[in-house]
Structure 1
Amino acid sequence: MAGSSGREDEDGRHYLVERLARIAGGDKSALKDLYDRTQAKLFGIALRILNDRREAEDVLQDVYLSVWMKAADFDPGRASPITWLATIARNRSIDRVRQIGRRDERDIETALDVPDDQPDAFQVLTARDDHDRLVACIGELDERTSHAIRTAFFAGRTYQELADTAEVPLGTMKSVIRRGLIKLKGCLSR
């Protein structure tokens, strides 16, 4: 089940990467597709930072203009498409806050005094993307290794408990998990 969700997420990532490549080639329909798929997330980032719907809508237009002009700069080896887009939205929103601050003679530094214990939208999107990649990579492991890693690291079972349940020596279970973690590291570094 987790494997299919991971596959769908990986398909979505490939879809966005492909759209950005087409945008870099001047394909306006690819920009529309990208907009339809990502505008809600990016608008949420802008709205959270700006706290003004009209300003957030203006920033969103700037974001997609930047995407149109800079799509060729996107490197899927350095960031996921949604992380790259979220960073643009965040930076444009912060720039707009600074502009508004100067125009309205408000000090942007006062915003630092407002406590916010919740992660911002950028952090949530980044964590979600990292989580989705981890789930997809775990889904690529064989069932025995996947189960051992999930049980050890997410359910808190010890290696000895896993070895006893699987009726294998402790050294075998450690090897299974170690090889699985090496495969995960390789998958996550792609």
Structure 2
Amino acid sequence: MAVTRTGAAPACAKGAIRWVGVSKERKLVAVSRPREVAKDEGWVRLSPVRVRELEPRIEMSGDGPAAERLLASLAKRLGWDGEELAGPGEPSDVEEHDERADFQGAGTFVAAQGVWSIEASFTADCSGKPVYGSVSTWRNGATASLQCGYDPSKHGSHEAWVLEAYELACGS
């Protein structure tokens, strides 16, 4: 189920949208299995596998603003372009892709992929009638190449999604 909501109401086409409880954090969506790489191996391909899938959704207390209008408003609130936020029916698995890297040394390596996960609640003014709701969506994130035995938390990276990838693939 991509969207739990009622329809877009013409009365909500121009009313104000007020955002509250807006949060964003990077979440791990895929990590590769560890791959042993020889010192002179050069470019290697790592294929991350899904850890979780984020499904965008919009929930409202009644007929409210169109999904496109809500996402554009939320993106503006976050300082992003409206087209950067995933709409209903666009799961995060579209971010899964092989990584190619030249690690320039021997070791056991993994690749990780993360996206921004965004949660927010809103009140929309629909011709004087408030409509309450929430949005869960995601935005393209980041990739990380990690070397097992080189704990990122001890070398400057404290991002939860990177640490999760390291612990899943390499152990703690």
Q: Structure 2 length as normaliser, TM-score? A: 0.24
Q: Structure 1 length as normaliser, TM-score? A: 0.23
Q: Rg larger in 1 or in 2?
A: 1
Task: Select the structure with the greater relative contact order (CA < 8 A; seq sep ≥ 6).
Answer: 2
The structure carrying a bigger strand percent of its residues is 2
The structure carrying a bigger helix percent of its residues is 1
